[in-house]
Chain A
Amino acid sequence: METNGGRPTPEQAQSALAEAEQIQASAAALSATPWPNWFFAALTLYIAALPIAYGGVMADEDWLLPGPSWTGIMMAITALHLGLFALAAKTWREKTGVALRLDVLPKRATVPLAIGLPSILVGSAFVFRFTGSPVWLFAASLIGAAASVGFHLAFVRLHRASA
């Protein structure tokens, strides 16, 4: 790649580009390192529990538990989740040595999820409030858990493919 101060030849430029691409691929593999299993499990449980707790908060009348208890549960699991996220992010960064990036997966997968999943999780509680049927909450819980598992597997595949 040495150019001695002059214009690089097309071969030298091609070689420099190829080397940069190779390094970018190995860095991308590091950025795609999946979360530790304990946090993946915690995240999946949180996503599965959220629509049910929110449904309890939103219910017209007490459903299974008094409304304030559901509010307490929701706040407690959210605080616990945020604490675990901070811990997992710290250990992930220390293990990989790179910054945590949320733009590793393709946008065609992340954008629909970023819009769709909160809509399903929150929307199911509203539907439950109007219909009184908890099936919507359990369906949202299952969809959320499936999305969490799917994304974890996507990271595992991406990490293996680019490593």
Chain B
Amino acid sequence: MSPEAHDMPAGFDATIHAPNRLRICALLDTAGEAEFGLVQKQLRLSASVLSKHATVLMDAGYVEQRKAVRDTRQRVWLRLTRAGRDAYQGHLAALRAIVEPADPAAS
């Protein structure tokens, strides 16, 4: 384990911290489930970039996809898994801990 890894606050998740992946998780956490094209539009990402990051999140078990047909075209819907939601919330808590470190005198 690198020295930096010891230095990370609890809950910090390097997979989620990548800027676009954090944004994807933020959107899915609030929306519950979102259509691929909508995520692309909201985050102003190309289809290939979104697909790449969504694949990383799916490989980590944080995001799952559902395919649905609309107007004869197949649409992909993305949603956070329970593990993804927990990891995202943990990561936000870790970021808050970095911004406002706990008072050592209080512990």
User: Which chain A residues border B43 with CB–CB below 8 Å?
Assistant: 23
Docked complex: B1-41 residues within 8 A CB-CB of A: 2, 4, 7-8, 12, 14, 17, 19, 22-23, 25-27, 29-35, 37-38, 41
Contact status B79-A27, CB under 8 Å = no
Contact status A5-B2, CB under 8 Å = yes
Contact status A23-B27, CB under 8 Å = yes
Question: Would you give the shortest CB distance from A2 to chain B, in whole angstroms?
Answer: 8
Q: Say if the beta carbon of B96 comes within 8 Å of chain A.
A: yes
Question: Interface centre among B29, B31, B35, B96, by most A CB within 10 Å?
Answer: B31
Closest residue of chain A to B24, judged by CB? A23
Q: Say if the beta carbon of A1 comes within 8 Å of chain B.
A: yes
Contact status A7-B34, CB under 8 Å = no
Q: Say if the beta carbon of B48 comes within 8 Å of chain A.
A: no
Contact status A28-B99, CB under 8 Å = no
Contact status B26-A20, CB under 8 Å = yes
Known: A17-B92, A27-B34. 9 other contacts (CB 8 A): A7-B7, A16-B19, A17-B95, A23-B26, A23-B30, A27-B31, A27-B42, A31-B30, A98-B31
Some 22 contacts from A to B, beta carbons below 8 A apart, are: A1-B22, A2-B19, A5-B2, A5-B14, A6-B7, A7-B4, A8-B98, A9-B98, A13-B96, A16-B17, A17-B92, A17-B95, A20-B25, A24-B27, A24-B29, A27-B34, A28-B30, A30-B38, A31-B30, A31-B32, A98-B34, A101-B31
- Interface residues of B, Cβ cutoff 8 Å to A: 2, 4, 7-8, 12, 14, 17, 19, 22-23, 25-27, 29-35, 37-38, 41-43, 70, 79, 92, 95-96, 98-99
